Amino acid sequence: MKSFVIPEIYKSNIIGKIKEIRRTKDKLKKDFTPTVLDFGSVKFLIARHFGFCYGVENAVEIAYKTIGENPDKRIFLLSEMIHNPDVNADLLSQGVKFLMDTKGNQIIDWKELKSDDAVIVPAFGTTLEIQEKLLSIGIDSYKYDTTCPFVEKVWNRAGQIGERGYSIVVHGKPNHEETRATFSHSKQNAPTVVVNDLKEAQQLAKYITRELPKEQFYKDFAGQYSEGFDPDKDLQRIGVVNQTTMLASDTQGIADFLKKVIIEHQNAQPAEVEKYFANTRDTLCYATNDNQEATYALLENKADFAVVVGGYNSSNTSHLVELCEEKLPTFFIQSHQSILDKNLIKRYDLHKKQENITDFIPEKEQITIMLTCGASCPDAIMEAVLLKILSFFNTTKEIEELIETL
């Protein structure tokens, strides 16, 4: 796989060594067991896969290369390049400005842009409407495009099955940049509707079976369907694609459910399944899958609690938090700065969408901690979290010594 030029501030000697050892011993990436660092008074179970993925490394390299090669140009990002506050803060410190926030609200008016400005497209991609807007200003949106190749794969797949007469169901968060981009590209070739979760998929199924009148569809899915979408006609042949950072198991669950509903409604024979439902399993992102599978393997072990590091608006990170929360107490934090001391931590509550200061490490003879992070979290931040927690304990082993035994 291609290697990228990543700024030193995002690298970690400790985490880098751990990853390289695991990579060397498990070249086919079939061993999802966690890395164990046992210091006696505290033991860390570190997920097999975590941190910068291919798409994020690609985006980081292009963004910093753009800055380095254009010292005399104004440089803009359409919105956050990736969902990590440290990375975005560093880009801002180097003079880059955001044109929009993550929900698509304008921060800088299009009228302020000039044709010789550099505009970076984030890893999530962008909509065709925004591409056309930039082109009207004289800006080529493909010149500094960091769109993840796996996001583009979803667009291509949606286009292919759309051309074959299927409508597209996008499993994603309707307001997420990637889902907005995928929706924009998909609707060019096929009627498209977005479902946020299984509950919405179950509601959509009622229009496949015509249990509900189509007039109600436009209320239930307001803002989530393409212009001219007719549920009576456009839900007879479908394919499901996804926002790449969603839980793979959730996407597959939605696809399996809708497939069952449409096959039963059409009374289709096994040989006729593809006539009504397109096979789109290949749109699931490998990195998202690997990180989620590594988290499942992590959770097969016993621990006192889990720490998940990443941006609070990071979709893939939030799904790792959800997995961990099902099994044990979980602390969702942005960085080592969220750890106030051994007893207190500033954690993010996914459900209430707010930070809270809560108790942290319990008083025990030995503590076992699960540690992982999202695909947009730099190794340097993971190292800082690991070392800060480690500083609260009296240990007789050095971390380099333990790494050598892996």
Could you list the active site residues? 178
The residue to which tokens 């393409």 are assigned: 226
Instruction: Provide the greatest CA pair distance for the chain.
Output: 69
| Residue 289 DSSP symbol | H
Q: Which of 255, 165, 183 is nearest to 223 (CA)?
A: 183
244 vs 241: CA distance, rounded Å: 9
Which spans in 70-176 are helix H?
Answer: 85-93, 128-137, 149-163
Residue 269 CB coordination number (10 Å): 9
Q: Are 90 and 9 in contact, with CB atoms under 8 Å apart?
A: yes
Q: Are 193 and 138 in contact, with CB atoms under 8 Å apart?
A: no
399 vs 402: CA distance, rounded Å: 5
Q: Long-range contacts for 223-227 (Cβ within 8 Å, ≥24 apart)?
A: 223/174, 224/174, 224/193, 224/194, 224/195, 225/191, 225/192, 225/193, 225/194, 226/183, 226/186, 226/187, 226/191, 226/192, 226/193, 227/187
Spacing of C-alpha 14 from chain mean position = 24
Phi, psi for 159 (deg, rounded to 5): -65, -40
